[in-house]
Structure formats: structure tokens, C-alpha cells
């Protein structure tokens, strides 16, 4: 079936068979398909594409498409992968795909907004927030499609989330602590802080991190003669820590999981705290999120049955959950 290349689309005099299969759009009596559809159908041997009197080889069609659409080769890998999974896809002028549920009819609403990247790309959290805003305006879920060096595609669902725990208010007051280096030591009077609220690490003495100690001091639980100073990075960690603790979460170090924090909705006892529900990485709005590092974090969180959450520190704190999904 011959089609004529006209600028950034391919036109058919009679494309009923393609239209019935879900490709292209009607313009009067003619059918118009985009370059992604064109390369896909030409590669499958379903169409021929002409420019002037010449029939284009697939390689030349691909080169023309790459000139029209920046990053075409990566986006095409995503397009072809989605179609191979039985998913209807449309490319938009904004540079992303709209994906539709299986079995949809023409005119039905899309389900997902899909952005295409390579595994060596990076994004600022501000970029991700803009994409989330756009997908929310369209009432679509946001999916990142990452194409790796072996041309395989992995999909990640990105969404805003809220974190809430079930721990009660800390009613202790006047617990005495002493700052020694990077830790605060609390004698026996502070034992309920550990046994009931899982602060610090207890041996003969209760040992608190600077962030834990500052939180307790700021809320009148702990008294210290010394001031606790935090650098810029620690101040961001403290803001997120305080936000989560104030909302009933138990927040502990996430170092063993390669994250800033792990967080529990509730613990029944320090002897058997159970599994934390979240791993949290603290990141500023302009910080870069490298997709290879993101993939590692998300995979590890999944393997240990936790949600991977990024706490974006700006004027406010915004929590963004990223998880790998099957499309």
C-alpha cells in the first residue's frame, strides 16, 4: 500500500485497512499517519512510502523521521515496544505518547502519558514535578519509559503521594541529653524514647543522631546545654525527618538500603518492629535524578517490599513515589 510523504506525515488515498487497525486519522477521504506509524508499518512490510517519484528505503524513512523528531530512535523503541504489548499509542505534538487501555475504541480516553528517555539521561526533580502537573491536568498517570543499552524498555510509574503514620504524640518532657561529637547521649531517663517511639539506638545509654536530638529538643522533649548545628544538607534532612515524625511516622536511617531514611507507619515493639513501608531519599528541586541510580533504588525498594519515595525540598516538601510497572 503506497503512501506519500508530505512534510511530517504520510498520506494515503485509501487507507481503510490501516484505519480499521487503529492507525492514522481521517482528513476528508484521505488517511494520514505520523512518522512513528510509518516506520513501524514500513518495517513490518505493510506499506511503501514514496517521496516524489522515489520509493524510500526504510533506512531513509528512519533518517527523515529523526530529523523531524529529536530523539526519534529512542521514542520509536518505546513506541514499538508498546505496540508489541497490544497497547494503542498516539504521539503528541508536545513530544510524549498517549497510551490507551487494551480493547479501547476510537475516541476513548487515554490512560497514561508516557515520556521516553535513555538509561544515561538525568532529570531534575523540578522537571518531574512539571510532568506531574501536566499529566494531572490531562487526568493521566505519568509513566517514564527508559530505554537501556540493549534497547530494552523499562517502565516507571511516577505519582505524588502523602505519608502518614499511626504513632501517637510524644508526651515526655525534660529528658536530659549531652552532645558528644556527632551524637547525643541520654541516660536512663530517656529509655521510653527508644522503647515506645523507637528513637536512637540503646545499649547502656540511649544514643541519638543529631537530627533526632534536634527534633526532640525543638519539641521540648529533650534538654541540651549545647546547640546542635546542621549544615545545608542536614537541614534538608531535618525538614523531611520532622515532617514525617510530626505525621506519626517512625523515621530511621536508610543507610543499609542506600537511602536517606526508612519509615514505618507504626511499630508495636522495638524488639519486633516489623518491616518499614517506605525508603525516602531527600532531594532538592534542582538536583539531578540520574535514571541509572533511580533504577537501582526502585529495584532495591521493590525487592525488600517497600515504596521508593523522593522527598523534594522546596518552599514546601513534596513526596513523589516511583515504582516499576508492567505495561
275 is catalytic: yes
Rounded distance between C-alpha atoms, residue 322 and residue 295, angstroms? 9
Name the catalytic one among 75, 88, 214, 306: 306
272 is catalytic: no
Name the catalytic one among 275, 278, 290, 323: 275
Rounded distance between C-alpha atoms, residue 6 and residue 18, angstroms? 18
Name the catalytic one among 264, 272, 310, 323: 264
What SS3 string covers the chain? CEEEEECCEEEECCCHHHHHCCCCEEECCEEEEEHHHHHHHHHCCCCEEEECCEECCHHHHHHHHHHHCCCHHHHHHHHHHHHHCCCEEEECCCCCEEEECCCCCCCCCCCEEEEEEECCCEEEHHHHHHHHHHHHHCCCEEEEEEECCCCCEEEEEEEEECCCCCCCCCCCCCEEEEEECCEEEECHHHHHHHHCCCCCEECCCEEEEHHHHHHHHHCCCEECCCCCCCCHHHHHHHHHHHHHHHCCCEEEECHHHCCCEEEECCCCCCCCCCCCCEEEEEEECCCEEEHHHHHHHHHHHHHCCCEEEEEEECCCEEEEEEEEECC
264 is catalytic: yes
Identify the bridge partners of residue 26 per DSSP, sorted by sequence position: 31
Rounded distance between C-alpha atoms, residue 156 and residue 78, angstroms? 13
Task: Give catalytic residues, as residue numbers.
Answer: 264, 275, 306
Amino acid at each position: 500500500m503506497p503512501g506519500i510523504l508530505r512534510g511530517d506525515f504520510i498520506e494515503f488515498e485509501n487507507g481503510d485497512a490501516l484505519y480499521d487497525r487503529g492507525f492514522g486519522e481521517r482528513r476528508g477521504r484521505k488517511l494520514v499517519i505520523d512518522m512513528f506509524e510509518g516506520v513501524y508499518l514500513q518495517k513490518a512490510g505493510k506499506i511503501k512510502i514514496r517521496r516524489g517519484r522515489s520509493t524510500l528505503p526504510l533506512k531513509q524513512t528512519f533518517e527523515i523521521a529523526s530529523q523531524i523528531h529529536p530523539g526519534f530512535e529512542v521514542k520509536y523503541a518505546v513506541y514499538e515496544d508498546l505496540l508489541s504489548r497490544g497497547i494503542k499509542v498516539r504521539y503528541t505534538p508536545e513530544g510524549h505518547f498517549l497510551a490507551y487501555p487494551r480493547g479501547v475504541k476510537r475516541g476513548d480516553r487515554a490512560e497514561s502519558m508516557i515520556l521516553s528517555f535513555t538509561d544515561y539521561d538525568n532529570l531534575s526533580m523540578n522537571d518531574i514535578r512539571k510532568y506531574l502537573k501536566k499529566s494531572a491536568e490531562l487526568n493521566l498517570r505519568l509513566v517514564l519509559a527508559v530505554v537501556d543499552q540493549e534497547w530494552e524498555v523499562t517502565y516507571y510509574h511516577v505519582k505524588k503521594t502523602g505519608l502518614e503514620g499511626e504513632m501517637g504524640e510524644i508526651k515526655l518532657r525534660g529528658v536530659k541529653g549531652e552532645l558528644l561529637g556527632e551524637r547525643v547521649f541520654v541516660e536512663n531517663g530517656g529509655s521510653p524514647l527508644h522503647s515506645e517511639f523507637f528513637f536512637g539506638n540503646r545499649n547502656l545509654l540511649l544514643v541519638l543522631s543529631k537530627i533526632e536530638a534536634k527534633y526532640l529538643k525543638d519539641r521540648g522533649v529533650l534538654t541540651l546545654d549545647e546547640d546542635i548545628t546542621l549544615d545545608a544538607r542536614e537541614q534538608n534532612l531535618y525538614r523531611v525527618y520532622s515532617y514525617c515524625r510530626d505525621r506519626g511516622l517512625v523515621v530511621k536511617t536508610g543507610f543499609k538500603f542506600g537511602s536517606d531514611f526508612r519509615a514505618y507507619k507504626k511499630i508495636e515493639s522495638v524488639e519486633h518492629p516489623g518491616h518499614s513501608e517506605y525508603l525516602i531519599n531527600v532531594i532538592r528541586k534542582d538536583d539531578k535524578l540520574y535514571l541509572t541510580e533511580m533504577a537501582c533504588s526502585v529495584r532495591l525498594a521493590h525487592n525488600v517490599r517497600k515504596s521508593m519515595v523522593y522527598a523534594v525540598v522546596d518552599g514546601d516538601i513534596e513526596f513523589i513515589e516511583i515504582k516499576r510497572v508492567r505495561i
